[in-house]
Amino acid sequence: MSHYWTGLARIFASYRNDKRYGLLAVFVVFIAHAWRYFANAQTSQVYGDGFYSWIFVRSLAFDGDLDFTNDYAACGDPWHVGVDEGGGRPANPFYFGPAALLAPVLFIARHLVRLPADAPASWRSACGGPLVFYTGLLSIVAVTLVVYFGYRAARRFFDEGACAIAVLAVGFASQLNVNGALVWCYSHLWGAFGVSLTVFLVVRFWEAPSVGRAIAAGAACGLAFLIRPAEILFACTFAGAVADHAIRGGFRRTLPTAAKHTLAFGVALIGVASVQFWVHAKLYGFPFVIPQGKLYVQLTHAHPFLLLFAARSGLLYWTPLMWLALIGLPLLVRPKGSRFLFVGLVVATCLHHYVASAALAWTGGATAGARIQTSLVGPFVLSTAACMAPCLRWLERRDWTRSAGVLVTVAMLPWALVTWSVPTSGVPNDRAVPAPELYGTAARGTMNTIYESIGNPWTLPATIPFALRYRFAPKVFDIVATDGIFQKQYRTMEPMGTDTLSFASPPSGYFGVGYEKADQGALIRPGRRMRSLFALYWPWVTHIHLSLATDGRRPANVTLRTGSFFRRYNIGSVRVDNTTEVDLPVPKNAFDSGINELLVETDAPVTLKAIRFIDQGTHDTRIRAF
């Protein structure tokens, strides 16, 4: 066994500048994702958001147009979004960009693949079946290129061992484990491809600036914007590269060259990105629209902390090995020669995370894992390498070569394999999942013991402040850190699910103390304060409707307060005589999306049956940007 550790240590320490190992890691990722693609029947189907991304692909490959009338007729319109919104044709509010990559493959497959004579109509129409499967093979290439571009960029700055570890960590234990080749019909993998390509080409520009390299980087950034508009934030990386060269060469002397390169980058970016405005003009009759509606992103109601740690879709909850990537982000900006390049990358990554957490659908409902952050995996290769490089150097200076092998094998690989197994292990994708359920039988007993005492160890930066603030056990954070109740469709304002918190049968994302459970609800006695935590999806509440009842002996005066993590709000008092139904106006921001606290006190026994949340505000749901 000692020979095994010594040999492994040589791979990651003694021979850490041999290019074979980084490329070998990329090849291993390729094989793993290819195996997963061929082993799962769902790769020949399109569904969910991916169905509508596929409608773009099918229309271009079959008809060469953006009129989806026959496409919806052939494949259906399960979410009924194919209505005329001003373009004189059925609309499609999902992303056009993936079709730019997938449509040529479907076009070729359509002419080369022979279907059986008795093939169902859905196969012949490419709504599912072999044509979808063969088109999706491009996803294996995309996953490989995402980590390859990240590796090639990282290799400019870090040694081979650190980069190889980064490739394996991201390839197996990042958001790609679910949203790579397995769920390729969604836009997230293709967004990751666009971002990774952009970052790689910007690094090449930083290495040897030229107009040609600036144009290539701008075109890649434009493609990333086509795939998912938020990806344009990675233009910050190019700004950082230009700043690095301006500082090194003197601002005045390099200003004309910097302006020329910036212009080349901007023209290329706008030239490619303008395709999106042409598509909007076709579908909506106006080029500058937000297909999801103006209400979709609410920057003042963002949840960046929950998007990192929540049990519903938290990055570090579902992919704990990405702690390496987050630790590596500040380490990227330490070297002076590339400081502004990486400042741009870190700023873009943080802004992207914030914008993703500001979407009303930030949890990525019905999702196993943090799919909305998949675009970040390319930069994560760089930041993971930045984290691992000093670790390996530290071990090497002390000649702890065996420990280097132990570090890589014992500390990283088991967690990578655990994360890798999540999408095929039957983990629910429609609710918050307690941390022990994410692990195999062998580890679940140990995880249960840890979980009961301190909660999920990977999310302690969230659960410890939570426990101190609310005085509940850390694991309660996982119960309530979900999208919860009171949901609305952000275009039509139609209710989705319940808008009522019933205390007789509370939802799964609820936790409360200070009351007795009764048949009708929560029985609150004088001298005790009821404290409840629950999650709301919708960020606006103007009124609440209370259902209360006394025991009939004497009326009760009930006082209600609510709170966020930082503030508490006084809702008011209600006099309850027998059974009372009352509407109360609530202060602005007293309730918000995410975790909410409710505190109730009374001077006589009272049963709180239910609270219904009401939003009587007006919201701009138009799609035109201006």
- List the domains of the chain with CATH numbers: 2-44+138-287+299-424 (no CATH), 435-480 (no CATH), 487-614 (2.60.120.260)
DSSP 127: S
State the average pLDDT for the chain.
88
370 pLDDT band (50/70/90 cuts)? Answer: confident
Angle between helices 339-358 and 188-207 in degrees, nearest 10: 160
Using the Cα atoms of residue 459, residue 460, residue 461 and residue 465 in order, give the sign of their dihedral.
positive
Q: Return all residues near 352 (Cβ < 8 A) that are at least 6 apart.
A: 230, 231, 233, 234, 375, 376
Question: Would the pLDDT of 405 be above 60?
Answer: no
436 pLDDT band (50/70/90 cuts)? Answer: confident
Q: Do 295 and 620 touch, CB atoms closer than 8 A?
A: yes
What's the gap between Cα 563 and its chain centre? 27
Q: How far apart are CA 424 and CA 439, in angstroms?
A: 12
585 pLDDT band (50/70/90 cuts)? Answer: very high
pLDDT at 444: 67
What values do phi and psi take at 192, rounded to 5? -65, -40
Neighbours of 79 (CB within 10 A): 12
pLDDT at 254: 78
Question: Would the pLDDT of 445 be above 70?
Answer: no
Residues 197-234 have pLDDT tens digits of: 999 999 999 999 999 999 999 999 999 999 999 999 99
Question: Would the pLDDT of 565 be above 50?
Answer: yes
Q: Do 282 and 87 touch, CB atoms closer than 8 A?
A: yes
Q: What is the largest CA-CA distance in the chain?
A: 87
Share of the chain above pLDDT 70, in %: 92
Question: Would the pLDDT of 14 be above 50?
Answer: no
pLDDT at 9: 46
Question: Would the pLDDT of 10 be above 80?
Answer: no
Residues 355-364 have pLDDT tens digits of: 999 988 877 7
Q: Identify the bridge partners of residue 599 per DSSP, sorted by sequence position.
A: 531, 561
What values do phi and psi take at 510, rounded to 5? -135, 145
Q: Do 386 and 331 touch, CB atoms closer than 8 A?
A: yes
The encoded tokens of residue 3 equal: 């020979």
427 pLDDT band (50/70/90 cuts)? Answer: confident
Question: Would the pLDDT of 613 be above 80?
Answer: yes
pLDDT at 400: 52
Reported as type and span, the H/E element at residue 516 is strand 516-517
Strand-pair category, 495-496 with 594-602: unpaired
18 pLDDT band (50/70/90 cuts)? Answer: low
Q: In one letter, which amino acid is 147?
A: V
Q: Do 507 and 483 touch, CB atoms closer than 8 A?
A: no
**3-state SS assignment for residue 253:** helix
Question: Would the pLDDT of 15 be above 50?
Answer: no
Question: Would the pLDDT of 366 be above 70?
Answer: no
Q: Which of the pair, 430 or 147, is modelled with greater confidence?
A: 147
Residues 241-265 have pLDDT tens digits of: 999 988 877 767 778 899 999 999 9
pLDDT at 356: 92
**pTM of the full structure:** 0.91
In the predicted model, what is the mean pLDDT of residues 168-188? 91
Q: Which of the pair, 434 or 581, is modelled with greater confidence?
A: 581
2 pLDDT band (50/70/90 cuts)? Answer: very low
Share of the chain above pLDDT 90, in %: 62
The encoded tokens of residue 467 equal: 């426990």
pLDDT at 567: 87
Q: Which of the pair, 620 or 418, is modelled with greater confidence?
A: 620
pLDDT at 393: 81
Which of 265-269, 354-358, 553-557 tops mean pLDDT? Answer: 265-269
What values do phi and psi take at 48, rounded to 5? 55, -140
Closest Cα to residue 593, out of 564, 562, 571? 564
176 pLDDT band (50/70/90 cuts)? Answer: very high
Q: How far apart are CA 147 and CA 158, in angstroms?
A: 15
Q: Which of the pair, 252 or 529, is modelled with greater confidence?
A: 529
Q: Do 173 and 415 touch, CB atoms closer than 8 A?
A: yes
pLDDT at 626: 82
Burial 141-162 (b: 16+ CB within 10 A, else e): bbbbbbbbbbbbbbbebbbbbb
In the predicted model, what is the mean pLDDT of residues 143-156? 96
Q: How far apart are CA 461 and CA 567, in angstroms?
A: 20
Question: Would the pLDDT of 269 be above 80?
Answer: yes
396 pLDDT band (50/70/90 cuts)? Answer: confident
